[in-house]
Amino acid sequence: MKAYDIPVSRSVLKMLRKDYGYRHHMRIDQLLLGRKLGNVRDWDRHLKKKEATHVTITVVCRYAGPRKLYAVSKLLENHFNLKMMLYVEAAVEFGSDAAEAIRSFMEKYDLSEEDLKMETAYKRWQRHQKREIEKELIPLW
C-alpha cells in the first residue's frame, strides 16, 4: 500500500476529523471513476499548488494516478459543500434565518472566519437556492 497526499481546504479537514475521527484511514482502492474531471493540466496544477487555505491529507491505496487523486480531492470538497447546504436548508425549513444557520454550522464544525468566510458561505447558499428554484421550474413530462 502506498500513501498519497492530496490538498483539501481546512474546512474539509475539520469536517473529516469531526465526523470520522483523527485516526481514520481513507482507502480509495475500490473507487471507480466514470468520467474525466478537468484535464491533465488541472490535475497536476491542483495537486502541486500550495495555497494558504489548503492543507494536505493522506489517502492510502495500491496505486493512484493524478486523475484519481484530483477526483478524490474534489469529491471531498463537494461533500463538505453538500453537507453545509443540507444543514442550512433544514434549518431554514424550520424557521431559522440562513445567516444564523450558517453560523451554527460553522460553530458545529469549529470553523473560523479564516477557514470559511461568512460572505462566501452565504453566496454559496444563495446560488444553491437559485439552482433549486430552477429545478422546480423544469417540467417532469
**In the predicted model, is pLDDT for residue 66 greater than 90?**
no
CA dihedral 129, 54, 47, 43 (to 10 degrees): 20
Amino acid identity of residue 73, one-letter, is S
| HSE-up (13 A, CA, CB side) for residue 4 | 24
The mean predicted confidence, pLDDT, of the chain is 87
Q: Mind listing the pLDDT tens digit for each residue in 7-34?
A: 999 999 999 989 888 766 666 766 666 6
If one counts the domains in the chain, the total is 1
Amino acid identity of residue 100, one-letter, is E
Query: Of 56, 1, 60, 55, which Cα lies nearest the Cα of 25?
Result: 60
- Retrieve residue 78's grid coordinates: 463537494
Q: Which domain holds residue 46?
A: 2-137
Q: Report the C-alpha gap between 95 and 88 in whole angstroms.
A: 11
pLDDT score recorded for residue 65: 85
Place of cell 417532469: 140
Strand arrangement of the beta sheet that strand 26-27 belongs to: 2-9, 54-61, 26-27
- Checking DSSP bridges between strand 54-61 and strand 26-27, what pairing results, if any? parallel
pLDDT score recorded for residue 34: 66
Q: Mind listing the pLDDT tens digit for each residue in 73-108?
A: 889 999 999 999 999 999 999 999 999 999 999 999
> Could you tell me the pTM of the whole model?
0.85
**In the predicted model, is pLDDT for residue 50 greater than 80?**
no
pLDDT score recorded for residue 4: 87
Percent pLDDT > 90 in the chain is 45
